[in-house]
Amino acid sequence: MTPAGPGAGARARPTRNAARAQARGERTRAAIIDETVRCIEEEGFAAASASHIAERAGVTWGVIQYHFGDRPGLLAAVVADSYERFRRAIEGVPVPEVGSHRRVESVVEAAWAAFSTPESLASLEVLVATRADRGGADRAELEAMGRGMRRLGAALVGDGSDGDVRAAVVGEVLWATLRGLAMTQMLSAGPIDTTRERQVLVELIRAYLDGTLPLGPGRVTSPDGP
């Protein structure tokens, strides 16, 4: 075997340098996304201008352009990052094999914990504020969050002849209610305690699954009536 000459080590350095540069770039990108989330959380969407985010993050606008292209690209990255965090949290929700109340409570609380993070709230504010300009990717991620809630509904329902219908109902109720609570928190000047609302949600879902609501399990009303 021919011994490696002096040039071999020199040729390896660019690879290591490139890896370090990539790691620095990823850290910078993540830091800018985190600072954008904090800016929206603390000051609202209107304050999250390109120059203000750059100032808060301690970078130049050129750095933001390099990583995200423009402000819409940065906001889209915030939404995508939030969805990925949400997806991982939802997929990790345990559904205990105990009584229905405990099962429902566990899922509702875990779903709320995933939905009420600063990243999720900032993402929701971005989606509301940019509704008129929303692209296909943003719509897809919003729809994917809804599907995550429906999967939790399916986990609660389990097997049964009307399981698909009930899972869809529970998932939609979870999605709509928690989204509404998040919107209320987003529009408030300070923290809001939603404990009672979540407790009511737990009781409603439990009663629906147990068949003790007048609606009954598996029945879905249309806009024109039952």
- The CATH number of the domain where 128 resides is what? 1.10.357.10
Residue 20 lies in a domain: no
The pTM for the full model equals: 0.74
Residue 5 lies in a domain: no
Q: How confident is the model at residue 226 (pLDDT cuts 50, 70, 90)?
A: very low
Residue 86 lies in a domain: yes
Range of the domain at 111: 81-210
Q: What is the pLDDT of residues 105-127, one digit of tens each?
A: 988 998 899 888 999 889 888 88
Residue 206 lies in a domain: yes
Residue 125 lies in a domain: yes
Q: What is the pLDDT of residues 140-164, one digit of tens each?
A: 777 777 788 778 888 787 654 455 7
Per-position DSSP letters for the chain, written without gaps between them: -PPP-HHHHHHHHHHHHHHHHHHHHHHHHHHHHHHHHHHHHHH-GGG--HHHHHHHHT--HHHHHHHHSSHHHHHHHHHHHHHHHHHHHHHT----SS-HHHHHHHHHHHHHHHHTSHHHHHHHHHHHHTGGG--HHHHHHHHHHHHHHHHHHHHHH-S-TTHHHHHHHHHHHHHHHHHHHHHHHHHSSS----HHHHHHHHHHHHHHHHT-STT-TT---BTTB-
Q: How confident is the model at residue 135 (pLDDT cuts 50, 70, 90)?
A: low
Q: How many domains does the chain have?
A: 1
pLDDT at 12 over 70: no
Residue 92 lies in a domain: yes
